[in-house]
Chains A and B, each alone.
Chain A
Amino acid sequence: MRNGHPDNRDLSLPDANLADTDGGGGPFSVTGEQRANNTIVLAFAPLHKAALGLASGVVFASIFALVTLADLVVDPRQIADLGLLAQYFYGYSVSIAGVFIGLAWGFAVGFVAGWFLAFTRNVVLAIWILYFRARADWLATKDLLDYV
């Protein structure tokens, strides 16, 4: 605790699993209230947009490249005409060069998709938190006039 006031609680323990490891209280002990606070903070923690973009970009790029390679191997007659993807992805073709172009396109599309997914999720969560805070404040003060 920085001081006794509850609004000045030290929440600098991001790991919800932290516990009273020294067993006897002391400077490293974590109270139940702090644990609950840390859990709540983590439950409503925002997603890292660039990290989710990177993760989806890498996965999308790998899928795009692997599917192109698989099409070269298992479908040499081009029955499933993956080359039609060039309508959307400029320069793409079912070829060795197309594997690398697909890799780049897959990363770009995946990154944008992941970034926007994280962004949207964070915005929705922020609005949700704002709503519940406003509602809690209103509930706490709605009978204020009864005491005047």
Chain B
Amino acid sequence: MTTADDELRRTLARINGRAWGVAMGLVLGLGLAIATLFLVIKGGAVVGPHLGLLGIFLPGYSVTWHGALFGFVYAFVIGYAIGRLIGIIYNAASKPRHSPR
């Protein structure tokens, strides 16, 4: 095994908190927006009675066109916070193994 192989095994990647935040935010935001829009386009007598319950936790959210926008913003902010927190905790937890010697 070469030195590079050994180093590759021992070195651990740091997480970019901002990138994880944006990625998680987009996944959650687009997920909720697409789920909302799917139900709105599908239509029916009662549109999205179960997804609409999210409005209890996210004031202003509803299964409507503008609710999809609200939901995207809410979920993006929550996802960003989750990604950022994971990045901070991960980097702190794995620090001793990749800090500069």
Q: Do A and B come from one complex?
A: yes
Which residues does A use to contact B, with CB under 8 Å?
7-15, 18, 37, 41-42, 44-48, 50-52, 54-56, 58-59, 62-63, 67, 70-71, 74-75, 79-80, 114
Indicate if B100 sits at the interface (CB-CB under 8 A): yes
Find out whether the CB atom of B56 lies under 8 angstroms from the CB atom of A45: no
Question: What are 30 residue pairs bridging A and B, where the CB atoms are less than 8 Å apart in the complex?
Answer: A7-B2, A9-B3, A11-B3, A13-B100, A18-B100, A41-B7, A41-B8, A42-B13, A45-B11, A45-B12, A46-B9, A46-B11, A46-B13, A47-B15, A48-B94, A50-B93, A51-B90, A51-B93, A55-B85, A55-B87, A55-B88, A55-B89, A55-B90, A58-B89, A70-B57, A71-B56, A71-B57, A75-B57, A80-B54, A80-B56
In the bound complex, residues from chain B placing their C-beta under 8 Å from that of A80 are 53-54, 56-57
Judging by beta carbons under 8 Å apart, are A14 and B82 in contact? no
Given contact pairs A11-B4, A14-B11, A15-B100, A59 touches B82 in the complex (Cβ within 8 A): yes
Q: Using a Cβ cutoff of 8 Å, how many contacts connect chains A and B?
A: 88
B66 part of interface (Cβ distance < 8 Å): no
Asked whether B4 lies within 8 Å of A37 as measured between CB atoms, the reply is yes
User: Is the beta-carbon distance between A46 and B12 smaller than 8 angstroms?
Assistant: yes
Contact at A75–B56, with CB atoms within 8 Å?
Answer: yes
Contact partners of A56 in chain B: CB under 8 A:
86
Q: Contact at A67–B57, with CB atoms within 8 Å?
A: yes
Q: How far is the CA of A80 from the CA of B57 in the complex (A)?
A: 9
Contacts of B87 in A (CB 8 A): 55
Interface string of B56-97 (1 = CB under 8 A from A): 110000000000000000000000001001111110011001
Contacts of A59 in B (CB 8 A): 82, 85-86, 89
- Please report whether the interface of chain B is mostly helix, strand, loop or mixed according to DSSP: helix
The answer on a CB contact under 8 Å between A12 and B101 is yes
The DSSP consensus for interface residues of chain A is helix
Cβ of B89: which chain A residues have Cβ within 8 Å of it?
51, 54-55, 58-59
* Distance A12 CA – B4 CA, assembled complex (angstroms): 9
Are A55 and B93 closer than 8 Å at their CB atoms? yes
User: B98: nearest residue on chain A (CB-CB)?
Assistant: A14
- Residue ID in chain B nearest A50 by CB atoms: B93
| Chain B residues, Cβ within 8 Å of A9 | 3-4
- For A2, the closest partner residue in chain B by CB is B3
Q: Which partner residue on chain A sits nearest B83 by CB separation?
A: A59
